[in-house]
Amino acid sequence: MMLLFGTIPDKNLTMTYGQVRQEGDYLFANGQRFSRTQGTGAMISAALAITNYFKLEAPHVLVAGDIGDGKGTRDIYKYLIEHIVELSPEVLTMHYSQPIMSLMKKFCEAVKGGANRPFLIADAGAMYAAKGAGLAGEFDIFTPDPSEIAFLADPLATHPAYISHHLFDCDASKIPQQIIEAYLLKSAARMLIVKGKRDYIAQGGEILATINEPDVPTLEPIGGTGDTITGLVSALVYAGMTPKEAAVFACRTNRMAGKLVNPTPATKVKDIIDMFPRVCKEYYCAWSGICYMDSSTTAPNTPQI
Amino acid sequence: MNKTAFAGDGIVIFKEVAQAMKGEKTVRAAGYEVKLIAPPPEMRMGCDLALEINLVEQAGIERLFKERNVPYVQVTPLTKGVSRMCDVVKVTDFGKWVMVKAGNMKLSFEKESGLIVNISGGGCPDIPYLNAEMVDKPLASAPHPNKLGYTLCATMLQRAYEEALDIFNGGSRP
């Protein structure tokens, strides 16, 4: 089972746990409806596109409404801490949430109680909390953007708004050095996917791959285009790819979907997510030689992931 | 499971002990995790009581103090050597649109109409909420991030918003 954890910007959404499905612009779980635009909703929606393509079990979600006061965050952490052992997900992705370090510490203690450790991915507030609490090494993948890799490389910062100026001022060419510094500080997960004009995939301080094609500069202003990479890599790991393969595919999928949409800065992320099934059908076989066939695709049919 | 004691990364400095105690009561009643502490020597303002907070909740806590008339001196990171928030603003021209980046937050608007078309960056829960409340509204009438937001991400978005509004109103338009 894959579990996706995060807050939804709806103060009326009570804590919800259940398997997710999509209808139009909304996601549904356990009778509750919430938006799939931006943030956790975009991340879930991206993951769902991949599990649908590979005909895998749809993700389970643990979400709650939170508009920034932290109430929903506390609810989902409490549930996760109390139930992580019995839920025993194979992949757990933690996303938008108030970065409360004490809750992250409790979670990391609780997850050790299970027989099977989940593959742990963090982005957004959950990544801030893990770094701030000194628990980055408990995670398998972080997916920072350029501001956030500078934050991970700053030994003093507990939030990206307070990173040192020399780190903030730097240009993209400094990202490889910041990756090394983040690993030296033990502020990085086992793997980093740094999302930006050029995407970097790194492990143990070493850059394993970079992806810069297709180059679609207008993806940068579109809110949620980093969230989708987090959802994509989560589902691709769940589908059985190695972390490196999943990371490369996630970045390429996002870029290709962006290119197919031909976006402007006014494009919404849901338009890019809606392009993921087409990218899977048209490119995955050629990218990997690992192909999947159903009645609606013309791709070769073996082997399956 | 062991109980983990609260450990924040920000500190609120007060002039008087009574104000610190009122501050603690006020934020605790609003559901925030806080702790009364003795401030580090370099932060002492003549009073020996301060409030340890989750720094990310700075915006919400400061707004609460203003609403409840709790006077305070400043909010600052607890970590020595980190004292100022990022104030670097970058502007990117996309032809019909402009993207303004402040810290980790980006706001894009249409030059002609001033319509906010996208908000990007950040990882705190109020950012998707602010996105829903602000996008597709004109800069001049959109709600301000510092009115609706609670976190440091919202504080940075406020900076991007102010810069964008200035550009739209004829400031340093690219």
Residues near A79 by beta carbon (within 8 Å), at least 6 away in sequence: A15, A17, A62
Percent of chain A with pLDDT over 70: 92
Q: What is the mean pLDDT of residues B26-51?
A: 78
Residues sharing a CB contact under 8 Å with residue A120, sequence separation 6 or more, in sequence order: A92, A93, A94, A111, A138, A139, A140, A141, A189
Average pLDDT over residues A87-102: 94
pLDDT band at A300 (very low <50, low <70, confident <90, very high): very low
> Binning pLDDT at 50, 70 and 90, where does residue A235 land?
very high
* Cβ contact B79–A105 (<8 Å): no
Mean pLDDT over B99-111 rounds to: 94
Mean of per-residue pLDDT scores for chain B: 86
pLDDT tens digit string along A48-81?
999 999 999 999 999 999 998 889 999 999 999 9
pLDDT of A302 reads: 37
Q: Are B83 and B95 in contact (CB under 8 A)?
A: no
pLDDT, greater one: A76 or B56: A76
- pLDDT band of residue B47 (cuts 50, 70, 90) is low
Residues A178 and A151: beta-carbon distance below 8 Å: no
CA distance A59 to A2: 5
Can you give the pTM of this predicted structure?
0.87
pLDDT of residue A60: 98
Bridge partners of residue B97, in order along the sequence:
B110
Q: Is B121 on the interface with A (CB under 8 A)?
A: yes
Q: Can you tell me whether residue B52 is helix, strand or coil?
A: strand
Which of B22, B50, B54 lies closest to B38, judged by CA?
Answer: B50
Determine the pLDDT at residue A156: 77
Q: What three-state secondary structure class fits A23?
A: strand
* CATH assignment of B10-77, among 3.30.70.1530, 1.10.10.10, 2.60.40.10, 3.10.105.10: 3.30.70.1530
Tell me the range of A226-230, B12-16, B32-36, B69-73 where mean pLDDT is highest.
A226-230
The 8-class DSSP code of residue A33 comes to E
- Chain B positions in Cβ-Cβ contact with residue A220 (cut-off 8 Å): 92, 99, 106, 120
Taking residues A106-133, report their average pLDDT. 95
Q: What is the pLDDT of residues B114-159, one digit of tens each?
A: 999 999 998 999 999 999 999 999 999 999 998 898 888 888 899 9
Amino acid at A255: R
Q: How confident is the model at residue A301 (pLDDT cuts 50, 70, 90)?
A: very low
Size of interface A-B (CB pairs under 8 A): 194
B85 — pLDDT class (breaks 50, 70, 90): low
CB-CB neighbors (< 8 A) of B113 in chain A: none
Question: What number is the ipTM of this complex?
Answer: 0.89
User: What is the mean pLDDT of the segment spanning A119-131?
Assistant: 96
Contacts of A187 in chain B (CB under 8 A): none
- CA–CA distance, A127 with A148 (Å, rounded to integer): 9
Per-residue CA distances from A43 to A122, A123, A210, B149 (Å): 11, 10, 22, 22
Residue with tokens 């049919």: A301
Burial degree of B151 (CB within 10 A; 0-12, 13-18, 19+): buried
Residue A303 pLDDT:
38
A7, A159, A163, best to mutate vs chain B, most B CBs in 10 Å: A159
**Terminal C-alpha separation, chain A:** 16
User: Which pLDDT band holds residue B5 (cuts at 50, 70, 90)?
Assistant: low
User: How is domain A2-288 classified at the CATH fold level?
Assistant: UDP-N-acetylmuramoyl-L-alanine:D-glutamate ligase (3.40.1190)
DSSP letter assigned to residue B138: B
In this predicted structure, the answer to whether residue B100 has a pLDDT above a threshold of 90 is: yes
Q: Which of A35, A102, A147, A162 to mutate to test the interface with B (most CBs of B within 10 A)?
A: A162
Long-range pairs for B82-86 at CB < 8 Å and ≥24 separation? B82/A156, B82/A157, B82/A162, B82/A164, B84/A162, B84/A165, B85/A161, B85/A162, B85/B152, B85/B155, B85/B156, B86/A160, B86/A161, B86/A162, B86/A163, B86/A165, B86/A168, B86/B156
Euclidean distance between CA atoms A4 and B78, whole angstroms = 32
Which pLDDT value is given to residue B54?
87
Averaged pLDDT for residues B30-51: 76
Band (A173; pLDDT cuts 50, 70, 90): confident
The full set of domain ranges for chain B reads 10-77, 89-168
What integer pLDDT is reported at residue A113 of this predicted model? 92
Which position has the higher pLDDT, B86 or A41?
A41
